Amino acid sequence: MNRAVQETDYDAFSCKVSAIAKHYLPRQVAGEEKEEGEFVQLHMAYAQGLKSVSRRAYSKVDRAVKSAQPVMNYGTYLRSIAIDEAIACFLKEHANFGADAPVQVVNLGCGSDLRMVQLLSQVPHMKWLDLDFKESVALKSRILKDNSLFQRELGPSEATETAEYSTSRYCLASCNLNDIAQVAETLKRFTTQDCPTLVLSECVLCYMKSIESRALIDYIKSFYKTGTWISYDPIGGDDSADKFGKIMQTNLRESRHLEMPTLMIFNSPEKYVQRFDTPPPSTSVVTMWQYYVQSVSSEEKMRLKALQFLDEIEELEIILSHYILAEASWL
Ligand code: SAM
């Protein structure tokens, strides 16, 4: 089961590569052409690194990229920009902290996510901790260490027995999030309790059982004095006529031996956000369809429309209504 869960990272990465290849990502923002070029370069460098480190993983990514449908590219684009925006908002709120009182990001189940590379160079008062299973961080660290672009951006890793990659501001370490004692030890070793903390879980809680994800949320909320949790996940749907979650569970079980244990428990945006126990206004949640309708400008919608032919807008609405971005803050 852990192997099947780890391999979901190849899906996440291939979705990103596909969205880049079809020009959904990066989002086009006037004056940010340099950052956009870097974003593409970083992901292509990572894909090349994956090819030399694990042919098997690379061919899975390559196959998935070739079969990506327009609705998936829309989904990846929206997921990516909505999370980037939420992170930017947190960093803006804590912009006054300065070098003597930094902010930190803990990326749970980081997989191949490369957000930290650009953000670390843009935000000097930030530290970043990437966590995933042992095998996943070993793969990621080999790719980062073997490539001069990542070495230049992140700085060389110091020799350490506790992290796979370690600099004064970036750390990539193995941690099984289902093992709360290991989580506690890892967070104590690599992060600071009284530093404003952004916790990111992008398609991660959905693979954990209810008891373990509850323990993880409770521990992290009690450990950091001030925090914001940004979580992106699918939801099963709470309408009895809604078959989305049930079909997704059956497909994953049959094709991948993969479970999403809480898909039908936290099956609506309201139920999902309740798992953080932070009452409004400290909590917000939006489906990706709501985000698309409300937060994507009409120019950007036109740009997306011109990229690939998408005949099924109803299908897009159904799919995007089953993915949410939740945000929960505590003091
Ligand atoms: N967050 C990354 C992204 O969105 O690009 C990767 C998402 S991938 C779908 C899920 C990731 O969560 C995988 O890398 C997997 O290994 C990790 N993961 C899931 N359960 C985990 C656990 N119990 N402990 C550590 N990592 C876990």
Atom of ligand 1 lying closest to residue 6 CA: 16
95: CB partners within 8 A, 6+ apart: none
From 114, 207, 230, mutation site for ligand 1 pocket: most ligand atoms within 8 A of C-beta:
207
**Is 79 annotated as contributing to ligand binding?**
yes
Report CA(243)–ligand 1 centroid distance (Å): 25
Topology annotation, domain 69-330: Rossmann fold (3.40.50)
- Our answer on whether the CB atom of 234 is closer than 6 Å to any ligand 1 atom is no
User: Any idea where the domains of the chain sit in the sequence?
Assistant: 69-330
ipTM strictly over 0.90?
yes
Give the angle subtended at the CA of 187 by the CAs of 163 and 89, to the nearest 5°. 105
pLDDT in tens, the chain (331 residues): 689 999 999 999 999 999 999 999 999 888 989 999 999 999 999 999 999 999 999 998 999 888 889 999 999 999 999 999 999 999 999 886 555 568 999 999 999 999 999 999 999 999 999 999 999 999 999 999 999 999 999 999 997 889 999 999 999 999 999 999 999 999 999 999 999 999 999 999 999 999 999 999 999 999 999 999 999 999 999 999 999 999 999 999 999 999 999 999 999 999 999 999 877 778 999 999 999 999 999 999 999 999 999 888 999 999 999 999 999 999 8
From 3, 7, 9, 230, mutation site for ligand 1 pocket: most ligand atoms within 8 A of C-beta:
9
Other C-beta atoms within 10 Å of 3: how many?
Answer: 10
Q: At what angle do helices 134-146 and 2-21 cross, to 10 degrees?
A: 40
**Is 73 annotated as contributing to ligand binding?**
no
Atom of ligand 1 lying closest to residue 113 CA: 5
